């Protein structure tokens, strides 16, 4: 039996998502949406063929919607709290579909036959207390680090009331990666001092978490609050990450696209001026030792609902701070992910593959590295700098081990 969901954008129906008797999902835009003169954009991939159905792999949602499903530590918490069968993407999105990233929403039209299957109580280890009010958990932000959409006021962090939108994210510290919150807060502050567009951030003790939120935090740790750039004065601003924009499933966020291809794609999506900003961000990624700048950590936003812009920087972490992690980039940079292979020749190769002049790109890289060195001097003397000393040592070691950085102004700091 078929199942049908209505897709809304800015609260207005724009498409239907239908599952046929063979288990395949397909998205079709409504005639009324297609006829709009000032039609808001749902996703870049759809713009290529608006009148054609967009199908997922059998049994799976199309990639755009699969990328809205929570990942990592958050997913089992939601499944457990909301009594949703493990692995049921659609059931999860039906429940949390009113507060997804961007301005897209889900609404059930026809439910079809129930697809839930009984599982043993011990089949999934509970990750949180089971007595929480499910109404407080209806939100979704995909990502591996445990994060929640929240309200921040007077240094207190609470879950939004049912039907309300959270305008901040709170990211909790990780058992696996201690002091992650301080690391990210400091790297984001460095980016801000260097002139990048960065959301407002606050580092707060875990005791700032009020009510149910406190159950998920490690005691005596810090949490990172980041203002949501897809929310403004109670209104939604649409966004999509690059995995959505290129129609890849979340499992492929570390492959299929290189950084030079990402640069070319950004010029296509946003315009020529955005190309320089991508290169600046890539230089910062390398300088900060960030090995996790995968496709879901690059996003587009639509402030006027039609034209794409690069989103502010987010999820900026110096992953080299943890010695158990490899020193690889998330995506290929001119044929390598190994940071120790990044040198000026590699930058020239990147430029060629991105259809850019190598000498011009090298000058741009040098200028950006000089800006980052100056920003380092100021941010490390500011109250925003809360990075653990051992993380700073690891970052300085990274500068010495990376040829592109070894002879840069950073190496002397």
Q: Do the strands 156-158 and 147-153 form a parallel or antiparallel pair, or are they unpaired?
A: antiparallel
Report the phi/psi class of residue 203: left, alpha or beta, with left for phi > 0 and alpha for psi in -120 to 50: beta
Closest CA to 74 of 44, 47, 96: 96
Q: Do the strands 156-158 and 309-310 form a parallel or antiparallel pair, or are they unpaired?
A: unpaired
* Nearby residues of 111 by Cβ (< 8 Å), 6 or more positions away: 3
For residues 404 and 282, is the Cβ–Cβ distance under 8 A?
no
Beta strands in 154-288 (DSSP E): 156-158, 168-172, 201-205, 222-227, 231-232, 235-236, 238-241
Helix (H, G, I), strand (E, B) or coil at 13: strand
| ∠ Cα 207 212 213 (to 5°) | 50
- Of these residues, 173, 241, 292, 384, which one is catalytic? 292
Catalytic residue flag (residue 292): yes
Active site (catalytic) residues:
292
């Amino acid at each position: 039996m078929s199942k049908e969901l209505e897709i809304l954008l800015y609260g207005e129906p724009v498409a239907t998502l239908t599952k046929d008797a063979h288990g395949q999902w397909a998205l079709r835009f409504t005639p009324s949406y297609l006829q709009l003169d000032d039609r808001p954009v749902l996703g870049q991939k759809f713009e290529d063929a608006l009148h054609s159905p967009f199908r997922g792999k059998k049994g799976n949602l199309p990639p755009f919607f699969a990328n809205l499903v929570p990942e990592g530590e958050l997913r089992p918490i939601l499944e457990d709290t909301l009594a949703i069968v493990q692995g049921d993407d659609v059931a999860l999105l039906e429940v949390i579909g009113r507060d997804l990233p961007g301005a897209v929403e889900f609404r059930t039209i026809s439910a079809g036959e129930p697809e839930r299957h009984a599982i043993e109580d011990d089949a999934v280890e509970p990750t949180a207390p089971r007595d929480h009010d499910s109404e407080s958990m209806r939100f979704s932000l995909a990502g591996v680090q445990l994060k929640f959409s929240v309200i921040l006021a007077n240094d207190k962090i609470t879950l939004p009331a049912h039907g309300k939108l959270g305008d901040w994210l709170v990211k909790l510290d990780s058992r696996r990666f201690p002091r992650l919150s301080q690391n990210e807060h400091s790297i984001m502050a460095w980016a801000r001092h260097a002139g990048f567009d960065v959301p407002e951030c606050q580092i707060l003790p875990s005791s700032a978490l009020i009510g149910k939120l406190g159950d998920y935090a490690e005691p005596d740790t810090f949490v990172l609050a980041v203002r949501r750039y897809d929310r403004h004065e109670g209104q939604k601003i649409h966004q999509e990450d690059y995995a959505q924009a290129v129609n890849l499933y979340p499992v492929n966020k570390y492959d299929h696209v290189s950084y030079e291809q990402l640069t070319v794609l950004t010029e296509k999506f946003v315009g020529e001026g955005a190309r320089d900003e991508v290169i600046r961000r890539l230089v910062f990624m390398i300088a900060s030792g960030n090995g996790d700048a995968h496709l879901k950590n690059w996003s587009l936003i639509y402030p006027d609902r039609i034209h794409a812009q690069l989103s502010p920087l987010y999820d900026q972490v110096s992953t080299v701070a943890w010695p158990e992690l490899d020193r690889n980039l998330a995506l290929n940079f001119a044929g390598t992910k190994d940071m120790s292979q990044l040198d000026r020749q590699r930058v020239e190769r990147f430029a060629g593959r991105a259809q850019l002049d190598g000498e011009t790109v090298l000058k741009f890289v040098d200028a950006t590295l000089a800006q980052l060195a100056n920003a380092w001097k100021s941010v490390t003397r500011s109250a925003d700098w809360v990075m653990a000393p051992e993380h700073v040592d690891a970052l300085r070691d990274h500068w010495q081990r990376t040829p592109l950085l070894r002879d840069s102004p950073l190496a002397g700091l």
